[in-house]
Amino acid sequence: MQKRSVLVVDDDSRITSALGEYLENFDYDLKIASSGEEAMDKISDPSIAMVLLDINLPDVSGFDVLTRMRQSNSDIPVVIMTGFVSTEAAIEAMKKGAYEFITKPFDMDKLVGIVNRVMQKSPHLRGLEIFSKERDLIPGDIIGRSPEMMEIAKVIGQVAATDASVLIMGESGTGKEMVSRSIYKNSLRNDKPFLSVNCAALPETLLESELFGHEKGSFTGAYTRKLGKFEVCSGGTILLDEIADMTPLTQSKVLRVLQEQEFERVGGTETIKVDVRVIAATNKSLVNMIKEGKFRVDLYYRLKVVSIYLPPLRERRGDIPLLVDHFMNIYSEETGKKINGISKEAIQGLTKYPWPGNVRELENNIHTAVVMSKNNILLPEHFPVLSEQRETVNVDLSRIEDDYASMFSEFINPNFEKMVAVSGNYVYHHLQSGFEKALISAALRYTGSNQVKAAELLGISRNTLRDRISKYGLY
């Protein structure tokens, strides 16, 4: 019987010979193509059970080879290998039906692991669903090359073309809305509407009317019939943002839309059928909310057919310089300033800063710095957060007998006027929850996110701690 073979398509002979050495020990042949044309010729060889494909080929791009393979109904598993690390490339590879996407320099053992896994399965192991029509790559969307962001890009590429619900989780400002738009833009529904509803912004009745619409006279102020977002969005995609804030009644109506694709307008009897893809986003832990009886478990499972967790920026600091560059370009253009760059000291400071407000906070800071810079170079002095960091207040804790009041006074007194300006009549409430959030974050950081230890250290119950973690989105 003829041996099955792996076709390696790469013009770099170092890669092909290294792979050859590794694969020698296994029971399959190695075939080599050093251009896209050669690859297309060789692919008809029936012994080929898998393809390792470079993107940068001398003639056509590896993506073109993959597209042509899929057009000619070849379902041979393809692993894309590339030195060009970008989320767009990862999304595109998975969308085009690649089995895996790996970046160079790669770990040979990992690659050989993938090869063995594929080769041991049936030779007809299918790649992912393939798009029927070609779609343009949407450039410049998601910035990042960290392994975390590359994984997310792959998931986006895999799920975009399906109608599966997606639950996006992550702290505030990590890019949840951006990811939902990317799923939409890469989906087959991208010629239909994309609508976003912030479930935290509206009280229950208004949210229901926003989602499902209402009939004339159904409540005070309902002077005319209004169509809800689900109806307007027919055939399209809806983002239910801050889903954790949805009340149980609304949750049950949304569940019905997901299960039966139907609902009634508020005050109406006619049942309306819809075809809408649902993406949900939250910065709170739905699991904790389920435990507390505040979120329906059946809805949770309906929403998280696919789930994406966006890690906080401080856990993927390698992406910071790229994001800085990206936002510098955006805001130079927007403000008409020709920013030439950023000083080394400033970029180091930005990379070390913990960014509690994640990418959004970084973006705002770059925007301000671009506006403030006079000599077209961004310097540490253009980033107030960096100097605040350096001037850590050293408090005299020997005066603890006054309940830390003097410590707080040192901070509150000079800033009180600003606080009143920002928080209006809510100063007490804002300050108190700010304090609680800061304290609990500190305890979690101190204990390496060990909730049992953190609760013990603070002298509060684990239930209270869990409640606050979910309330402040501190996972």
Ligand X SMILES: Nc1ncnc2c1ncn2[C@@H]1O[C@H](COP(=O)(O)OP(=O)(O)OP(=O)(O)O)[C@@H](O)[C@H]1O
Nearer to ligand X, 165 or 283 (CB): 283
| CB neighbour class for 236 (10 Å; exposed up to 12, middle 13-18, buried from 19) | buried
Query: Residue type for 211, please?
Result: L
Which of 89, 90, 143, 386 forms a contact with ligand X (CB under 6 A)? 143
Which of 174, 182, 250, 285 forms a contact with ligand X (CB under 6 A)? 174
Is position 11 an interface residue for ligand X (rule: CB under 6 A)?
Answer: no
Calpha distance 83→62 (Å, rounded): 12
Contact 2, 45 (CB under 8 A): no
Which of 60, 130, 138, 178 forms a contact with ligand X (CB under 6 A)? 178
Nearer to ligand X, 226 or 326 (CB): 326
Is position 245 an interface residue for Mg ion (rule: CB under 5 A)?
Answer: no
| CB neighbour class for 396 (10 Å; exposed up to 12, middle 13-18, buried from 19) | exposed
Calpha distance 423→417 (Å, rounded): 10
Is the Cα dihedral 93, 39, 127, 194 positive or negative? positive
Q: Least distance in Å: CB of 49 to ligand X?
A: 36
Q: What is the DSSP letter of 258?
A: H
Burial 68-98 (b: 16+ CB within 10 A, else e): ebbeeebebbbbbbbeebbbbbbbbbbbbbb
Q: Which residues 6+ apart lie within 8 Å of 119 measured at CB?
A: 4, 6, 26, 28, 49, 50
Residues in the chain: 475
Is position 283 an interface residue for ligand X (rule: CB under 6 A)?
Answer: yes
Nearer to ligand X, 114 or 313 (CB): 313
Is the Cα dihedral 174, 179, 181, 185 positive or negative? positive
Q: Least distance in Å: CB of 279 to Mg ion?
A: 11
Calpha distance 411→444 (Å, rounded): 23
- How big is the site for ligand X, counted in residues (CB under 6 A)? 16
Of 136-144, 213-221, 272-280, 343-351: span binding ligand X (CB under 6 A):
136-144
Is position 172 an interface residue for ligand X (rule: CB under 6 A)?
Answer: yes
Of 142-150, 243-251, 289-297, 372-380: span binding ligand X (CB under 6 A):
142-150
Find the radius of gyration of the CA atoms of the chain. 27
Of 127-135, 358-366, 401-409, 426-434: span binding ligand X (CB under 6 A):
358-366
Of 116-124, 171-179, 206-214, 266-274: span binding ligand X (CB under 6 A):
171-179
- The interface partner of residue 95, options being ligand X, Mg ion, none and the CB cut-off 5 to 8 Å by kind, is none
Is position 470 an interface residue for ligand X (rule: CB under 6 A)?
Answer: no
Nearer to ligand X, 172 or 447 (CB): 172
Report the site for ligand X in 317-336 (rule: CB under 6 A).
326
Which of 175, 213, 228, 312 forms a contact with ligand X (CB under 6 A)? 175
Is position 177 an interface residue for Mg ion (rule: CB under 5 A)?
Answer: yes
Provide the H-helix boundaries in 221-357: 229-232, 248-260, 286-291, 297-303, 320-335, 344-352
CA dihedral 144, 150, 154, 160 (to 10 degrees): -20
Nearer to ligand X, 35 or 172 (CB): 172
Of 31-39, 139-147, 336-344, 443-451: span binding ligand X (CB under 6 A):
139-147
Nearer to ligand X, 172 or 423 (CB): 172
Q: Least distance in Å: CB of 229 to Mg ion?
A: 16
Is position 142 an interface residue for ligand X (rule: CB under 6 A)?
Answer: yes
Angstrom distances, CA of residue 131 to CA of 135, 166, 437: 8, 19, 45
Residue 153: other Cβ atoms inside 10 A: 26
Residue 120: other Cβ atoms inside 10 A: 8
Residue nearest to Mg ion according to CB distances in the complex: 177
Nearer to ligand X, 111 or 359 (CB): 359
Q: Least distance in Å: CB of 212 to ligand X?
A: 23
Of 174-182, 231-239, 397-405, 428-436: span binding Mg ion (CB under 5 A):
174-182
Is position 359 an interface residue for ligand X (rule: CB under 6 A)?
Answer: yes
Calpha distance 453→456 (Å, rounded): 5
Q: Least distance in Å: CB of 215 to Mg ion?
A: 31
Q: Least distance in Å: CB of 97 to ligand X?
A: 25
Of 154-162, 173-181, 341-349, 435-443: span binding Mg ion (CB under 5 A):
173-181
Of 99-107, 152-160, 170-178, 253-261: span binding Mg ion (CB under 5 A):
170-178
Q: Which residues 6+ apart lie within 8 Å of 439 measured at CB?
A: 458
Residue nearest to ligand X according to CB distances in the complex: 175
- The interface partner of residue 330, options being ligand X, Mg ion, none and the CB cut-off 5 to 8 Å by kind, is none
Omega before residue 105 within 30° of 0, cis: yes
Structure tokens at 153: 């890009």
First to last CA, the chain: 55
Binding site for ligand X (CB under 6 A): 142-144, 170, 172-178, 283, 326, 359-360, 363
Binding site for Mg ion (CB under 5 A): 177
